[in-house]
């Protein structure tokens, strides 16, 4: 219930929507298979391993395959944050 409620907050949804959706999906998988599978720990472990493999692949691609694109995006994000900070300080 808390995870679903946090998705209604725009600031949380913008930053953490993917993580909340993955949590809800994993929770639903565990609850639904709880009726058929007697040991849910194996399912949870497999789900965590699958997520970790995805994170590792994502990091490898962003560090070794397309590092310039990630650097450009970070640079643009830093510029945007400094501009917003300057606007807020100017009043």
Domain boundaries, the chain: 2-66
Q: Go through 8-33 and write b for each residue having 16 or more CB atoms within 10 A of its CB, e for each that does not.
A: eeeeeeeeeeeebeeeeebeeeeeee
Q: What is the mean pLDDT of the chain?
A: 81
Question: In the predicted model, is pLDDT for residue 86 greater than 80?
Answer: yes
**pLDDT tens column, 22-43:** 888 888 877 777 666 666 677 7
Beta carbons of 44 and 26 less than 8 angstroms apart: yes
As a whole number, mean pLDDT of residues 58-62 equals 86
Average pLDDT over residues 67-79: 79
Cα 56 from chain centroid (whole Å): 13
- CB contact at 8 A, 16 and 2: no
Is this structure's pTM higher than 0.75? no
Which of left, alpha, beta for 9 (phi over 0: left; psi -120 to 50: alpha)?
Answer: beta
């Amino acid at each position: 219930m808390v995870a679903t409620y946090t998705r209604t907050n725009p600031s949380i949804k913008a930053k953490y929507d993917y993580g909340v959706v993955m949590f809800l999906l994993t929770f639903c998988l565990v609850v639904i298979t709880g009726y058929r599978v007697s040991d849910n720990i194996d399912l949870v472990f497999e789900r965590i391993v699958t997520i970790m493999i995805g994170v590792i692949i994502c990091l490898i691609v962003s560090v070794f395959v397309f590092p310039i694109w990630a650097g450009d995006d970070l640079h643009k994000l830093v510029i945007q944050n400094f501009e917003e900070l300057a606007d807020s300080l100017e009043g």
